Structure 1
Amino acid sequence: MKNNNSTIAAHNNTPTLAISDNRGLAIRALAYNRIHTSDAPEELITRNRYNAVGQLIASRDARLDSDNFRYQYPLGGAALRTDGVDNGTSMQLTNIEGRPVMSLDAKGTRSWVTYEPELGRPLAHQQQPEGGQKTVTDRFFYGENSAEHKAANINGQCIRHYDTAGLQQVDSLSISGVALQQQRQLLTDTLGPVNWFGEEQSWASRLRRESFVTRCTTDILGQLITQTDAKGHTQRMAYNRA
């Protein structure tokens, strides 16, 4: 009982307070802490600053006398640049539709995303580390307007995704969008750099012949009924009325 009382006493008069301006924006957060019950509570203040439209532009916690984070915004609203004491500087540029097209992280790695001109679906991801070579890390291919793809519910869906592990392929989808059959092919060279540059026909030699297939069945609500993994192990799910 004595230990419980001492624990309670250590938390006495140590509230957490939030202070807002007349726009309802949190401009201060006050926390109080003590290590020993005999210590006076230490006040820890976090300060936030906002621009005229209410976007957070700077934050300073109790550790430092300068800002921990600073933010810059374009006209679109999403953060354009973030400067952090702990995580460095990062930037992200978006197109007129708000989709990210270029980014720079604290390590100096640049990334680009290429989209279809009309539908705006991603086609490729490119990456270039600081002082390194630009490579295509991801490529995306979509189901065509064909009878075969319509029958498998993959018309317009991403059906082949070449990534840093190999190829992820979706063969059929349920009406609710659950992958009924998908397969994974791994890279032959798992240690070298990945670069999906060029045409798809030239990439077959980079993939192992073995495909790991996963199959599923669903009920009318799209909930899984069975799932069979690449080793042939089948899981069966049952649901109650709730």
Structure 2
Amino acid sequence: MIHVHQFPCLSDNYGFLVHDTESHETVAIDTPDGRAYLAEAELKGWRITQIWNTHWHPDHAGGNALIQKETGCTILGPAEVEGRFPVDRIVAHGDVVTVGKVRARVIDVSGHTNGHIAFHFAENGIAFVGDSVFALGCGRMFEGEPKQFWASLSRIKALPAETLLYCAHEYTASNAKFALHADPDNVALQDYADEIADKRGRQEPTVPTTLRRELATNPFLRADDPAIMERWGGSAPHETFAALRAAKDNF
């Protein structure tokens, strides 16, 4: 059995520790703040044995060296991390990684960066998606292309609808404002936005979210919906996605 410990760090990141109760192994999913991760692990009585990076950005891999120095842990991640931050094992789409006997599959979710990956624990119904998709949003397209990013989002869309998506940032309130602009007639979205406002008013996290809810409300995951395509143009979903992403960048 695994337990996920989520905690805020930096200005708007979330940190995640995944602990296997049988083997007592603990995985740090990304490392935005190495000292925060070490402190949280100590509070839980866990020892970090692995780091799994989703992509190379410093607010996701910047704590690798400190945590490895303090714990001797093994670090794995996509090839793009190598040469920027410590990494011991390169993984790519379709690879299987384990914490104890619990398996996770690596999924290519490139677009935010060209090597971005996610980790899907199928038996546990959870996925750590980094900056590929957020509650009501998706990552900026810093390195990728629209067709590539849409293919990545399509791989996320294909996961079981009840999958819990652990996104790496608390961007949801801001994302909700754009989503309402992008899809103003979506009643489910309007209800979701009201719930988000209530949660953030109480300083409660909006992460994780369910894929089912995002499929119904997240405009970036709905770029293949006829109503969205008509409103935002594009003869193919990746073209509609590109229009949405450009609009969000300037919103």
Quick check: which has more Rg, 1 or 2? 1
Greater share of residues in helix: 2
Shorter chain as normaliser: what TM range?
Answer: under 0.3
TM-score (norm 1): 0.23
Whose RCO is larger (CA < 8 A, sep 6+)?
Answer: 2
Where is the strand percentage greater, Structure 1 or Structure 2?
1
